[in-house]
Each structure stands twice: as C-alpha cells, then as structure tokens.
C-alpha cells in the first residue's frame, strides 16, 4: 500500500517574503522620504485608515456583510481610549503604547454586544440594522455629554506617564512609528485570520450559508465571531486615532465616517486582501487633497464610485490583478494603446464635465470677485455662453468617444482572456 501523499506548502515562498518585507520597508521609509509636517501627519492618518479599512473588509469582502455603521466601533473605542488617557494623566498605570490595544478591547466589547443583534440577520437586513444601530449611537452621542463630551468632544494629552526607552510620544514622528508598528502587526494578524479555520468558514458563510449549516456550523455564530474580530481591529484604529489627534468629537461615530469606510474599502477592492490598503491610502488622500483641487469633490467622489461599481466591482485591486495576469502571459503590450485611448477620452469627458461643474459652483456659491473661473490653467467666463457650449461639447465628445473606445477595448479584452484560457487549458502555465 502506498503511503498517503502529504502536500506541503512550499517551504520558502520568496514572493510572500518580498511583499511583506517591502510593506514593512515602505512603512519605515515613508516618513523619511516625505519629511514635511503635513506629509507625516497624512502618513499617520493613512496607517489608521488602512487598519480601519482592512477591519471593515473582514466583514464586506470576506464575510459578505455590508455594514453601514462600522464607524461605531472605531469611534466608541476612540472615546473609551481618550477617557483612559485622561485617567492615565491622573496616575493610572497603563503605558501609552498599549492604549490602542485597550481601544481594540473596547471595540471588541461593543461589537460583541451590538454585533449580537446585527449578525442575527445577513444580507440586506444586516445592512439596514447596522445603519439603524449607527444612527442610534450617533443620536445618543448628543444626549450623553458625560461620555461623548457634547459638541466640543473630549480632548486628552498623549504625553503622560514616564518615557519608555526615551520615547514619550510628544513629536509626530514617534506617534507615526507607533502607528506604523500597529499597522504592520494588524495587517499581518488580519491576513493570518483569513488563513484560520474561522476565516475560511467566514468565506463559506459568505458564499453559501445554507451549506455551511448543513455541515453542522452555525452561520450566525461565524458571522458574530468575525464581527467581533473586526470590531477589535476597528477599535485599534480608534485608539490610534485618539493618540494621533488627541481630541475626539461625536463625528467619529457618525454616518459620514461609516460611509467613507464603505466607499474607500470598495474603491480599493474587496475581493483581494490588499485592496483595503489601497482604499485606506486613497481615503486620506481624498479627504486631504481633493478639497484643494475642487469644491465639488463629494460630487466627483460619488461619480467615481458609481463608475467603479458599474465597470469594476472588484475595485482597484482587481483591476491591478487582472492586468498582472495578462502581463504574466506577455499579452499586456497590445492592450496598452487601448488603455491610452480609454484614459484620453475619459479625461476629455471629465474635463468638460469638470469645467461645467466648477462654473455652476462658482455662480452658485459666489466664491470669486467676478465671473472668471480658473480651471486646468484656463480662465473661463462663467457667464459667457462660449464656455458653457465648449464645456458641453468637450464632455459630449469625450463621452461618445469613450463609449466607442470602450466597446473596442472590450472586444480586445475578451480576445485576450480567451487566449489566456486556451493556453492555460493546454497546460502552458507561465
């Protein structure tokens, strides 16, 4: 009788080490490259956003649970940690570096309680319940000033207690490295979670809860446990938020923040583990940079989101991975002109629409002294019909050409996919 064959993971997975090593290197090197105060502050926020989005994706991507109220867990943890911080100023013996863990436990506790209610149901009802619970907590934040501090919020001071190894968390760079360490550890822990039996079961519950029940597992409990784990990481993000900003107001539990988690996690890509990392970076960049570019940024954000839902429901991560797959087969070259065409026509359409939107905003909000609008280096007169006709024509022409290019691109794309499938079937793996 032949001995049972044992399959092992390859002992030395160079790709994996390269990816994780690169990630760590990026976290360490980023503030050295971008060393202005603003850049370091943004980088700190990115670390927090990455943890929050990854935690959110444990629900959306891995569990198929669409939550409209995940800011509740990060936000409540922020409040708990800022109160802890104030207690620590009175002499409670807790090192500042462990405060995010306390935040994690707080987030976990709230997720244990509220998640018990919301995870009783799945799908659309789950989404509605999380929305309702989010509204509940937000409405309560204005009612209980002892905990939420009313309109002004609660502030604290992160420089408390003795310095450990000469680190007192006064300067931003020390806080950044604390955030970076937590970001790396949480990313690794959440990746490890996807490899645990619970993580696998969660995927199964997402895909076919009935079958999971037949196998003897309780789908509800699996959802609940995953929710609690996600609440823990969201809480860590909330604790880091407290340390970074030293002030917590009621908007951290608000619907706008929950919406931002959803929006950017989705834009980053829910079907790949690293998608939310892109999403977190985008979230901070969008909030910090888009208002500089245009007053109409929430409109752009909404339009981009709608566009992505329609053409790439897998987010940026899936776009990247699909192209990586094509590149591996050496077929990316012929697609590049089509990509250039798509980008050019889309840019033209967006420029036309952008000019019109800027002019409406200008007229509506009376931002300038006269009717002139600066847009992409041009000066447009918001009251002259020429600018309007020009913008409309540019937008219409761009959109029409985009549609033509898109159809051509799709044909090309399908042909490429068929080629790859044909090769794979012949066993010619790259």
Partner 1 sequence: MEFYAVSLLNGLSYGLLLFMLSAGLTLIFSMMGVLNFAHASFYMLGAYLGHAVAARFGFWSALVAAPLGVFALGALFERLCLRRVHRHGHVPELLATFGLSYVILELVQLVWGRGAVSFPPPEALRGPAFTLVSGPEGLALHGGAVAAEACRAAATACSPFPATRGFMMLTALAMLLALALLLTRTRIGLVIRAALTHPQMVEALGHDVPRVFMLVFGAGAALAALAGVIGGATFVTEPAMAATVGALIFVVVVVGGLGSLAGAFIASLLIGVLQTFAVALDHSLGGLLAALGVTLAPAVADSTLLRLTLAQIAPILPYLLLVGVLVLRPRGLLGTRED
Name the residues that contact partner 1, by CB under 8 A: 60, 64, 66, 117, 120-125, 127-129, 131-133, 135-136, 139-140, 143-146, 209, 255, 259, 262-263, 266, 296, 298-299, 301-303, 305-306, 309-310, 313, 357, 360-361, 364-365
Angle CA 151–154–159, to nearest 5: 150
Shortest distance in whole angstroms from residue 188 CB to partner 1: 27
Reported as half-sphere exposure (CB side, CA atoms, 13 A), residue 123 has a value of: 4
Please say which residue, 132 or 341, places its beta carbon nearer to partner 1: 132
DSSP annotation of 249: -
How do strand 154-155 and strand 247-248 relate by DSSP bridges?
antiparallel
Q: Which residue lies nearer to partner 1 by CB, 65 or 96?
A: 65
Residue 428 Cβ vs partner 1, minimum distance, rounded to whole Å = 31
Task: Indicate the residue among 64 and 199 with the shorter CB distance to partner 1.
Answer: 64
Nearer CB in complex with partner 1: 135/381: 135
Among 37, 60, 41, smallest CA distance to 241 is for: 41
Output the smallest distance, CB 387 to partner 1, in A: 17
Query: Least distance in Å: CB of 309 to partner 1?
Result: 5
Q: Which is nearer to partner 1, 101 or 128 (CB)?
A: 128
Residue 289 C-beta: closest distance to partner 1, Å = 18
Cα–Cα dist 349/391, whole Å: 9
Minimum Å distance from CB 274 to partner 1? 20
**Minimum distance, C-beta of residue 91 to partner 1, in the bound complex (Å):** 23
Of 184, 166, 164, 191, the C-alpha closest to 29 is 184
DSSP track, 96-163 = GGGHHHHHHHHHHHHHHHHHHHHTTS-HHHHHHHHHHHHHHHHHHHTT-HHHH-TTT-EE--S--S--
Between 145 and 291, CB nearer to partner 1: 145
Query: Which residue, 31 or 134, has its beta carbon nearer to partner 1?
Result: 134
CA distance 72 to 237: 12
Q: How far apart are CA 422 and CA 430, in angstroms?
A: 13
Angle of CA points 158, 160, 164, to nearest 5°: 100
Tally of helices (H runs) and strands (E runs) in the chain: 16, 4
Which residue's CB is nearer to partner 1, number 89 or number 301? 301
Distance CA 316, CA 268 (A): 5
Minimal distance in Å, beta carbon 119 to partner 1?
A: 11
Q: How far apart are CA 25 and CA 18, in angstroms?
A: 10
């Amino acid at each position: 009788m032949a001995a049972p064959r044992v399959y092992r993971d390859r002992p030395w997975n160079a790709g994996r080490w390269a990816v994780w090593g690169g990630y760590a290197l990026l976290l360490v090197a980023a503030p050295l490259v971008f060393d202005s105060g603003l850049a370091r502050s943004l980088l700190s926020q990115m670390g927090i956003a990455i943890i929050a989005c990854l935690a959110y994706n444990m629900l959306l991507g891995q569990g198929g649970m669409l939550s409209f109220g995940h800011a509740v867990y990060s936000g409540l943890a922020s409040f708990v940690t800022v109160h802890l911080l104030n207690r620590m100023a009175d002499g409670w013996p807790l090192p500042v570096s462990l405060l995010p863990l306390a935040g994690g436990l707080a987030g976990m506790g709230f997720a244990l309680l509220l998640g018990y209610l919301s995870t009783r149901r799945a799908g659309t009802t789950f989404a509605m319940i999380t929305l309702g619970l989010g509204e509940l907590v937000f409405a309560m934040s204005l009612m209980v000033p002892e905990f939420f501090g009313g309109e002004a919020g609660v502030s604290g001071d992160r420089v408390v207690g003795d310095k450990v190894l000469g680190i007192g968390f006064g300067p931003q760079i020390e806080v950044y490295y604390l955030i970076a360490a937590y970001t790396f550890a949480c990313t690794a822990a959440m990746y490890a979670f996807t490899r645990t039996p619970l993580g696998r079961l969660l995927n199964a519950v997402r895909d076919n809860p009935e079958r999971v029940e037949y196998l003897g597992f309780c789908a509800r409990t699996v959802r609940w446990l995953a929710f609690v784990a996600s609440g823990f990481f969201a809480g860590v993000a909330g604790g880091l938020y407290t340390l970074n900003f030293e002030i917590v107001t009621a908007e951290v539990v608000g619907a706008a923040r929950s919406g931002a988690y959803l929006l950017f996690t989705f834009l980053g890509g829910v079907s790949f583990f690293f998608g939310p990392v892109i999403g977190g970076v985008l979230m901070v960049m969008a909030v910090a940079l888009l208002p500089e570019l245009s007053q109409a940024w929430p409109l752009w954000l909404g339009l981009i989101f709608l566009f992505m839902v329609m053409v790439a429901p897998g987010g940026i991560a899936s776009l990247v991975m699909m192209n990586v797959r094509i590149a591996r087969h050496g077929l990316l070259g012929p697609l590049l002109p089509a990509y250039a065409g798509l980008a050019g026509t889309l840019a033209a359409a967006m420029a036309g629409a952008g000019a019109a939107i800027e002019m409406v905003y200008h007229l509506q909000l009376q931002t300038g002294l006269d009717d002139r609008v600066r847009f992409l280096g041009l000066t447009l007169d918001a009251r002259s019909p020429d600018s309007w006709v020009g913008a409309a024509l540019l937008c219409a022409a761009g959109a029409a050409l985009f549609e033509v290019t898109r159809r051509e691109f799709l044909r090309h794309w399908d042909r490429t996919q068929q080629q790859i499938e044909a090769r794979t079937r012949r066993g010619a793996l790259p």
